[in-house]
Amino acid sequence: MRNRKEALAELKKTCSLAVNIFTNTVSPHSVYLDREQKGGTVVLEMKALVLTNRIVDYLHVRVVEKTMELMKYNLNLYVELEEKYPFSAWK
């Protein structure tokens, strides 16, 4: 993107959640899932509670809380982009 700073400044005026995923590395942010950097997603990181591979560990209350937080963020992001799209091409 040639004018990244200007585009992010314009986007921040109407879609702060969208800007956050492109500029933040702490709270929900965008990451690539593959080495080719083609498949990405929005993630919310947290420290591992225990070092194990048991499925029951993923049902820990902190994991469920973080999952719900990320789900709310994604839903709010969708609504924000649907209602306040900053660029006409996004409509």
Q: What would the pLDDT profile of 41-91 be if each residue is shown by its tens digit?
A: 888 888 876 677 777 777 778 888 888 998 998 899 888 888 887 777 766
State the pTM of this model: 0.69
First to last CA, the chain: 20
Whole-angstrom distance, CA of residue 59 vs CA of residue 33: 23
In the structure, what pLDDT confidence band is assigned to residue 1 with cuts at 50, 70 and 90?
low
Q: Give the position of tokens 């789900």.
A: 71
Tokens matching residue 66: 């973080």
Residue scoring higher pLDDT (67 or 1): 67
**Is 37's pLDDT higher than 80?**
yes
